């Protein structure tokens, strides 16, 4: 029986400051069903508080405790390792690291930081890594969708540092199994009782299906024709947009629950 739905944000519910058409109403319909809804995002361009403000302006009914971000996961790992990170993240994401000691860094944390991805700073990170600092990737997305088109994600820059130093980054965001399990923690739901909806075939859908969830790929955001063929097994379902995904869940994945309850 389906008990939980995990929903990606950027590219699935919204693209920058524009909502996917019909997404707010679809979310209301999903909430009317007896399922737990959580929002999982690799977005590192802004703090969780700024992200929530953006969603509220777009008239999405979402509370802060329903959002699980890769920034949250990265902060937890930094605290666990008790390291002082060199933070290659956007200034708007820094509030999620408030209280973390960053002077005299002995670790490198990489998110999406267009203003910092230049030779001098990447070389500084390279030297820290050669001296034994761990490399933490908030996520390794190849690219993401902006209003003006597709744009490079942090993945290519993490890979460049891995290549130059011959070390492997610890990745904390999607598609890592621990990320999905942490997002479900406290819900009382198991991966086998969960559906993930997202626009990234590898990170959203592939990652979720590797944990035992069903994955629904939407053709908004960063989706490109043929993406569904990039993972094995393929997505449980590929559909036009979040509202279509919600329609399918309500009509096909919850009907069996209703029928069993009726009997």
Domain boundaries, the chain: 4-42+175-253, 72-171
- Average pLDDT in the chain: 93
Q: Which of 184, 217, 248 is nearest to 4 (CA)?
A: 184
pLDDT (0 to 100) of residue 255: 61
Q: Which of 108, 112, 92, 91 is nearest to 43 (CA)?
A: 112
Is residue 58 predicted with pLDDT exceeding 90?
yes
Output the DSSP codes for 43-87.
--SS-HHHHHHHHHHTT----GGGEEEHHHHHHHHHHHHT--EEE
Question: Which CATH homologous superfamily contains domain 72-171?
Answer: HAD superfamily/HAD-like (3.40.50.1000)
Integer Cα distance of 242 and 140 in angstroms: 24
pLDDT, tens digit, 9 for 90 and up, residues 179-219: 999 999 889 999 999 999 999 999 999 999 999 999 999 99
Query: Are the folds of 4-42+175-253 and 72-171 the same?
Result: yes
Question: In CATH, what class is 4-42+175-253?
Answer: alpha beta
Q: Hey, which bits of 102-234 come out as E strands?
A: 107-110, 135-137, 143-146, 149-152, 170-171, 194-198, 214-218
On the 0-12 / 13-18 / 19+ scale of CB atoms within 10 A, 14 is buried
Is residue 256 predicted with pLDDT exceeding 60?
no
Is residue 263 predicted with pLDDT exceeding 70?
no
Q: Mean of the pLDDT values across residues 245-256?
A: 88
DSSP letter at 228 equals G
DSSP letter at 227 equals G
pLDDT (0 to 100) of residue 181: 93
Q: Mean of the pLDDT values across residues 231-251?
A: 97
Is residue 262 predicted with pLDDT exceeding 50?
no
Residue 61, number of CB atoms within 10 A of its CB? 12
Is residue 114 predicted with pLDDT exceeding 70?
yes
Integer Cα distance of 154 and 165 in angstroms: 17
pTM for the full model? 0.85
Is residue 257 predicted with pLDDT exceeding 50?
no
Q: Sign of the C-alpha dihedral, residues 167, 172, 175, 180?
A: positive
pLDDT (0 to 100) of residue 254: 85
Higher model confidence: residue 246 or residue 262? 246
pLDDT (0 to 100) of residue 34: 87
Integer Cα distance of 25 and 27 in angstroms: 5
Structure tokens of 70?
């890769």
pLDDT (0 to 100) of residue 200: 96
Q: Mean of the pLDDT values across residues 62-73?
A: 93
Q: Mean of the pLDDT values across residues 28-56?
A: 93
Structure tokens of 38?
């959580």
């Amino acid at each position: 029986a389906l008990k939980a739905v995990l929903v990606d944000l950027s590219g699935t519910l919204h693209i920058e400051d524009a909502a996917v058409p019909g997404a707010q109403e679809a979310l209301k319909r999903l909430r009317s069903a007896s399922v737990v809804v959580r929002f999982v995002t690799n977005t590192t361009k802004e703090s969780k508080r700024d992200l929530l403000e953006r969603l509220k302006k777009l008239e999405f009914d979402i509370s802060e405790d329903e959002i699980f971000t890769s920034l949250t996961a990265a902060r937890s790992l930094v605290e666990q390792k008790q390291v002082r990170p060199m933070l290659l993240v956007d200034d708007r994401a820094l509030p999620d690291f408030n209280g973390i000691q960053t002077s005299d860094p002995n670790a490198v944390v990489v998110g999406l930081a267009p203003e910092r991805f230049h030779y001098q700073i990447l070389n500084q990170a390279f030297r820290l890594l050669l001296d034994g600092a761990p490399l933490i990737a908030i996520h390794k997305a190849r690219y993401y969708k902006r209003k003006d088109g597709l744009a490079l994600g942090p993945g290519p820059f993490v890979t460049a540092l891995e290549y130059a130093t011959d070390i492997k980054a610890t990745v904390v965001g999607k598609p890592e199994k621990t990320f999905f399990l942490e997002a479900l923690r406290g819900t009382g739901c198991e991966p086998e009782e969960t559906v993930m909806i997202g626009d990234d075939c590898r990170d959203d859908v592939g990652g979720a299906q590797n944990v035992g969830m069903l994955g629904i790929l939407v053709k908004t955001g960063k989706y490109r024709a043929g993406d569904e063929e990039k993972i094995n097994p393929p997505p449980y379902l590929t559909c036009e947009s979040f509202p279509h995904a919600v329609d399918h869940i309500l009509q096909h994945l919850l009907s069996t629950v209703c029928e069993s309850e009726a009997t």
